[in-house]
Amino acid sequence: MPTLRRLLLPLLATAWLIAPAHADDTLRHWIDGPQRSAQNRQRDPARQPLATLEFFGLQPGQTVVEIWPSVGAWWFEILAPYLRDHGHYIAALHAGEHNPAAARAEHDAIGGRIASQAALYGKTQLALSPGLTTTLPPDSVDLLLTFMNLHNWITDGNADAVIREFHTVLKPGGVLGVVDHRARNDRPSAEQLQAGYLREDEVIARFEKAGFKLVARSDIAANPLDTKDHPAGVWTLPPTLRLKDQDREHYLAIGESDKFTLKFIKRVEQ
């Protein structure tokens, strides 16, 4: 029986990954809802919110942390109302060390949404990252999500400390969802980090070293048109378009960056 189980488990895992998803009607409702800005909706083809959140296993009743929801509040507009009445949404804002100006802008933007649209966002709990463990109890979070943030922490030199906090607050078996800009394998990691890209294999190794286990990976947010050799790094592409009008149509045609989507669980030590 143990041998048969070892043979069947990989097949069952594969079947789960390729099985057709049955969309949560409530999640679809908030993705299509009028609370979302037109600017945020325009990014849906690149970001694939429904497929991404289903891939990470979002469900009603969960305690969910989103790291650095940003001034644009892209995922915030979906997650906060979705979990408002059935679950618990925690927006972990910039603590300020990485970019004080960006932190202030994010605090003002998210705080403003909560204050002005309390019916939608008033139940949101605020926390800080780094600093999650000062607010959240250990083993209290079902799902923790971080979108395009890891490259910042690696640059700042505090990535391992931030990841340890993720591990502390997640429940045993809790899910960590990571999306970031995917680097090429034929160029030095340091060079690509400066351009905002990360090697997927190195990211997986970093999280597994910290006590997580990779359970699934997806190309939901992949973009094969992204050559990852742009003059202003990943910020050359939309939505940033750092070069402004220079070759604008070319970069709009490429679209957003090529991204990896990784699903980890907090390992349960035997």
Mean pLDDT, rounded, of the chain: 91
Confidence of residue 6 (pLDDT cuts 50, 70, 90): very low
Q: Note the pLDDT of residue 98.
A: 85
pLDDT tens per residue across span 31-53: 999 999 999 999 999 999 999 99
Tell me, what's the pLDDT at 270? 52
E strands, the chain, are 63-67, 88-94, 125-129, 141-147, 170-181, 212-218, 259-266
| For residue 1, pLDDT beyond 50 | no
Whole-angstrom distance between the N-terminal and C-terminal Cα of the chain? 20
pLDDT of amino acid 48:
97
- The confidence score (pLDDT) of residue 23 equals 52
pLDDT at residue 7 tops 70:
no
pLDDT, one tens digit per residue, over 86-140 is: 999 999 999 988 889 999 999 999 999 999 999 999 999 999 999 999 999 999 9
> What pLDDT score does 12 carry?
35
Neighbours of 96 (CB within 10 A): 16
Q: Say what the pLDDT of residue 17 is.
A: 37
pLDDT at 245: 97
What CATH architecture applies to the domain 41-266?
3-Layer(aba) Sandwich (3.40)
Give me the pLDDT at residue 269, please.
Answer: 72
Q: What are the structural domain ranges in the chain?
A: 41-266
87 vs 11, residue with greater confidence: 87
Pairing of strands 170-181, 259-266: antiparallel
Is this structure's pTM higher than 0.85? yes
d(CA 270, CA 268): 6
Cis peptide, bond prior to residue 239, ω within 30 of zero: yes
Measured CA to CA, the distance from residue 23 to residue 231 in angstroms comes to 39
The pLDDT tens digits for 56-67 are: 999 999 999 999
Whether 196 has a pLDDT exceeding 90, the answer reads yes
